[in-house]
Chains A and B, each alone.
Chain A
Amino acid sequence: MDTRDTVRAIVAELATVPDDDESPIDVESLVRIQIIEAVEDAFDLIVSADDLTPERFASVASIAAFVEEKNDA
């Protein structure tokens, strides 16, 4: 599975996956936190508060881009 597939699977466990990867994931904050934690576990990374801009963790595509950027850093 590529990064987007993994992110999509994580989101599907916790929320409704939007029709396309660019669309916003519509969840309340407590579920968004679960998504963040699941991404940390799946990709072995730590998300900091500074990482959490409004754009990141908004959609499957933005989360996948963040993961790849973080892993490349």
Chain B
Amino acid sequence: MKVLRPADFGRGVRVRGMGVALPERRVTNADLIAMGCPLSEEEIVKLTGVHERRWVGPGEATSDLASRAARAAVADAKAELGEVERLILATVSPDYSSPSAACVAHARLGLGETPAHDVTASCSGFVYALEIATRCVLTGEAPVLAVAADVRSRFVDVTDRSTAALFGDGAAAALVDEGPVGEGLLAIALLADGSGAHSVYVPAGGSREPASESTVAEGKHTIRMDAGPKVYLKAVEGMLGTAEALLEREGLSWDDVAMLVPHQPNRRILDRLARLAKIDPAKVVIDLEDKGNMSAASVGVALDRALRERARPGDLVLVVAGGAGYTAGAALLRIGE
């Protein structure tokens, strides 16, 4: 695990603005069942907590959502796109295998020669992007757009009981900039454990098994989650482990946390997280019922909502994410006065 603390460099880093983008199309549980999902509406709600999710329409892709979220974040910060010094896009569902989705979004945003690149860290992607953006700001490159966007609906097998009902599409963006020391992003922790590389994955379409008629016939272009229970436990352990490392490093406890903003994989994981952290469930931000699991974007979308609707000056906000890879991350933020 790696922990980054801007204060160790005598600097402050803050989230100057945030924005989100969701597709227009709403897919209810009844819609999924009509498409062939072998679960009842009652089972879907009981197993996942998801009532509906947003899916992109024909021709729409990850960079479209990422661009919209990025523009919203820049507008929220009352900044200009011309100020942006780097675009980081966390995704596991880029528009193309090559080039990066960040480059497609870059063209749409008109970012000139500003560097742009993707980051692949599955459900922890937003926290990974925040961490890299923070490193950029600490070395004088600011502001930086940290975006997380995923369109998992293109990779869902609606007949698979384990994954059919989980995923939605969406994007979140944060404009990360210099700030006062002791406010904003206090610390970020990241970890990876490659033993889970095949825990949730899309088997074909990469360099190991390129797409072919047989891979498509076998559905290998869709998400597989054969080790679901292990991923579930690992995600919670990763989120708890990184969160507790940050709290300990800062001399804080769960009681000091005003809001816990987790990745939103499914309701059961969130309940388990709250139970094991022994945190008041009212402090846990749940933003899942009408969006589903948007992979990298989920925690960013939940953070955007939490900051707008619930955050008060001085609040300590703990952002945690974990999932496939395995990967996990946590970010500790102090809301400015």
Q: Which of A28, A33, A46, A57 has the most CB of B within 10 A?
A: A33
Q: How far is the CA of A57 from the CA of B161 in the complex (A)?
A: 19
Q: Which of B161, B229, B232, B233 has the most CB of A within 10 A?
A: B229
Residue of A nearest to B326 (CB): A49
Q: Which of A28, A29, A57 has the most CB of B within 10 A?
A: A29
Residue of B nearest to A32 (CB): B229
Q: What 6 pairs between A and B have smallest CB-CB spacing?
A: A29-B228, A49-B233, A30-B47, A28-B161, A49-B234, A29-B162
Taking a contact as CB atoms under 8 Å apart, the answer to whether A30 and B162 are in contact is yes
Q: How far is the CA of A36 from the CA of B237 in the complex (A)?
A: 15
Enumerate chain A residues within 8 angstroms of B162, measured Cβ to Cβ. Answer: 28-30
- A37 to chain B: closest CB distance in Å? 7
Q: How far is the CA of A33 from the CA of B268 in the complex (A)?
A: 9
- A58 to chain B: closest CB distance in Å? 11
B7 at the A interface (CB under 8 A): no
A47 at the B interface (CB under 8 A): yes
B48 at the A interface (CB under 8 A): yes
Known contacts A47-B233, A49-B234, A49-B237, A33 near B228 by CB under 8 Å: yes
Taking a contact as CB atoms under 8 Å apart, the answer to whether B230 and A52 are in contact is yes
Taking a contact as CB atoms under 8 Å apart, the answer to whether A30 and B272 are in contact is no
A12 at the B interface (CB under 8 A): no
Enumerate chain B residues within 8 angstroms of A32, measured Cβ to Cβ. Answer: 228-229
In the complex, 20 of the A-B residue pairs with CB atoms within 8 angstroms, ordered by the A residue number, are: A28-B162, A29-B225, A29-B226, A29-B227, A29-B228, A29-B229, A29-B232, A30-B47, A30-B162, A30-B266, A32-B228, A32-B229, A33-B268, A36-B229, A37-B268, A49-B230, A49-B233, A49-B234, A52-B229, A52-B230
In the complex, chain B residues 218-260 whose Cβ is within 8 Å of any chain A Cβ = 225-230, 232-234, 237
Q: How far is the CA of A28 from the CA of B237 in the complex (A)?
A: 22
- B162 to chain A: closest CB distance in Å? 5
Residue of B nearest to A53 (CB): B230
- B109 to chain A: closest CB distance in Å? 38
Q: How far is the CA of A52 from the CA of B232 in the complex (A)?
A: 11
Taking a contact as CB atoms under 8 Å apart, the answer to whether A30 and B48 are in contact is yes
Enumerate chain B residues within 8 angstroms of A46, measured Cβ to Cβ. Answer: 276
Contact with B along A13-50 (1 / 0, CB 8 A): 00000000000000011111110110000000011110
- A56 to chain B: closest CB distance in Å? 10
Q: How far is the CA of A8 from the CA of B245 in the complex (A)?
A: 38
Q: How far is the CA of A36 from the CA of B47 in the complex (A)?
A: 13
Contact with A along B159-178 (1 / 0, CB 8 A): 00110000000000000000
Q: How far is the CA of A49 from the CA of B237 in the complex (A)?
A: 8
Q: How far is the CA of A46 from the CA of B277 in the complex (A)?
A: 13
Enumerate chain B residues within 8 angstroms of A28, measured Cβ to Cβ. Answer: 161-162, 228
